[in-house]
Amino acid sequence: MDTNFRLPMNSYQAIDLLVNQHDFFLTFLSKKIIELRGNLNNIIASVEVNSESVVVEIGENSNVTISLRKDNRSDYVMSYPGKTLVFLINKEFQVVIYKYDAVLEKYVVRDAVVVKKNKPILIDGECEAYHVISVEDTLIGNVNFPLPSGEVNVFNKVSGKVKFWFLSDNGAARFLFVLQALNSIGDENLTRVAKETIYHYHPAVQWESFKIIKSLPNQSVDKYKEILLSFKNKKIIELLSSLRYE
């Protein structure tokens, strides 16, 4: 094996690798796992100990994780920002793919597909998510190209409705907490703060600020709608297009 092997720089390179050099890539991962765990035969137990997921390799633009799925009891699915290649390691498995519908404001089932050798599945976290239909002791491979400024959507599998945004950005999380706290106690400074935080760099804070302004009496939202549109964020634009203004 080429000791100078590097992880793919983008999803196109990853697809080419998993389609045309699947066995080579698994051999590379096996050696990495042995380095990490010392015993390839204990990989399933190792993954279980590590909250059902372990990071095998981290590259410049991507990382590789291996997950173990034994059941599918959760009512919720998460969509992760960036792109993910889901690939086979030890046996074929089926995934359900969801796509976000901006008009309906929810995730809808797009397809159910089988992940096979040389046939990875590409998930675009900006508008898609997936969950694995369980098979005992199935190892799920992921090549991830994360989007640092994005957020994780958590939605109900049955209704498709987004429950909340899970932020990895601590600065944005602090602003959201302040807005929600002021709103919950009816603080007199809420309007002023929301009109300032709508200029925040993170779309979750922008959207929360806009919702607060829109909900308050005697507030014209047209100006703030234009502010949001000026940021040219795809998700914000979709959310705005689905709103009905009084």
Of 12-16, 146-150, 210-214, the range with the lowest mean pLDDT is 146-150
Sorted by where each begins, the domain ranges of the chain are: 11-167, 170-241
Of 7-21, 82-96, 144-158, 223-237, the range with the lowest mean pLDDT is 144-158
SS3 111: strand
The contacts of residue 207 (CB under 8 Å, 6+ apart) are 228, 236, 239
The predicted pLDDT at position 50 comes to 39
State the DSSP code for 40. Answer: G
Q: How many CB atoms neighbour CB 199 within 10 A?
A: 12
* Mean per-residue pLDDT of the chain: 80
Predicted TM-score (pTM) of the model is 0.63
State the DSSP code for 134. Answer: P
Express each pLDDT in 74-130 by its tens digit: 677 878 888 999 999 888 999 999 999 988 889 999 999 999 999 999 999 989 999
Distance of CA 197 to the CA centre of its chain: 24
CATH architecture of 11-167: Sandwich (2.60)
Amino acid, single-letter form, for residue 169: D
Instruction: Give the model's confidence band at 4: pLDDT under 50 very low, under 70 low, under 90 confident, else very high.
Output: low
Q: Would the pLDDT of 177 be above 80?
A: no
Q: Would the pLDDT of 34 be above 70?
A: no
- Among 204, 82, 201, which Cα is nearest to 147's? 82
Distance of CA 12 to the CA centre of its chain: 19
Q: Would the pLDDT of 40 be above 50?
A: no
Instruction: Give the model's confidence band at 210: pLDDT under 50 very low, under 70 low, under 90 confident, else very high.
Output: very high
